[in-house]
Amino acid sequence: MKITAISIFPEYFSPLRLSLIGKAIESSVVDFKAIDLREFTHDNHKTVDDTPYGGGAGMVMKPEPWGEAIDSALNRHDGIVDLILLTPAGKTFDQELAAKLSSRENLLFACGRYEGIDARVSDFYRGHQRVRLHEISIGNYVLNGGEVAALVMIEAITRLIPGVIGNPDSLLEESHNEIGEVEYPVYTKPAEWRGLEVPEVLKSGNHGEIANWRRREAQRRSKTLRESE
């Protein structure tokens, strides 16, 4: 999978070199590049934003640098590219979209800042031959920019690529799997810690009863965790 991220803070993406995703990048399962939007400006101040037409608070990101940066990024990729515009006004990211995007060859993340990117940029690329456009938010709260949202998405997506996670079984059992149920509680040694015991059934060796207990606990958690806030 080839991934490009465009941002005025390309250093935001350095943590991707760590851990399992870092290994995937090293072993070239994932080819990642962060591009600095300011490289596509042509004035001395490297201006990427301006005041909004119609007035109002804040600044809007100018379309020209975005157009040039996205065109340049498209040149790094072959064929169809999934262009992901990070915006709090987008469709909420979930495990289903992560799974869909994990099977795609080319992902391009456009990380806006300020009050957003001039709306003509999304209009233009929605109609582009090589682009499938997604306007995505990661949840109902406001961040200062799309970078952290892109990191969240890249982690959720790349860990689903075969070979990125060591044990694929751990993908099946985990929270937000196809059944939409969260995981059962897990325990390891010691059998007693600060007066708290590991449930007896887990030490029984009875695999049928263990499976039943885990199913019940997962159901209970799915209900109570989600009702508790």
The residues that touch ligand 6GU, with contacts defined as CB under 6 A, are 86-88, 137-139, 141-143, 145-146, 149
Of residues 63 and 145, the one with the C-beta less far from ligand 6GU: 145
Instruction: Report the nearest approach of ligand 6GU to the CB of residue 170 (Å).
Output: 27
What are the structure tokens assigned to 149, written together?
A: 């949202």
C-alpha distances (whole Å) from 168 to each of 36, 152, 158, 160, 163 are: 35, 20, 13, 9, 8
Instruction: Report the nearest approach of ligand 6GU to the CB of residue 109 (Å).
Output: 10
Of residues 7 and 137, the one with the C-beta less far from ligand 6GU: 137
DSSP, collapsed to helix, strand or coil, labels residue 219 as helix
Of residues 60 and 149, the one with the C-beta less far from ligand 6GU: 149
Residues 6 or more apart whose CB falls under 8 angstroms from that of 47 comprise 41, 62
The H helix count followed by the E strand count for the chain is 7, 9
Instruction: Report the nearest approach of ligand 6GU to the CB of residue 147 (Å).
Output: 9
Instruction: Report the nearest approach of ligand 6GU to the CB of residue 174 (Å).
Output: 23
List the one residue out of 48, 72, 73, 68 whose CA is nearest residue 60.
48
Of residues 65 and 112, the one with the C-beta less far from ligand 6GU: 112
Instruction: Report the nearest approach of ligand 6GU to the CB of residue 71 (Å).
Output: 22
DSSP, collapsed to helix, strand or coil, labels residue 71 as helix
Of residues 53 and 141, the one with the C-beta less far from ligand 6GU: 141
Q: String of b and e for 110-126 (b: at least 16 CB within 10 Å)? A: bbbbbebbbeebbebbe
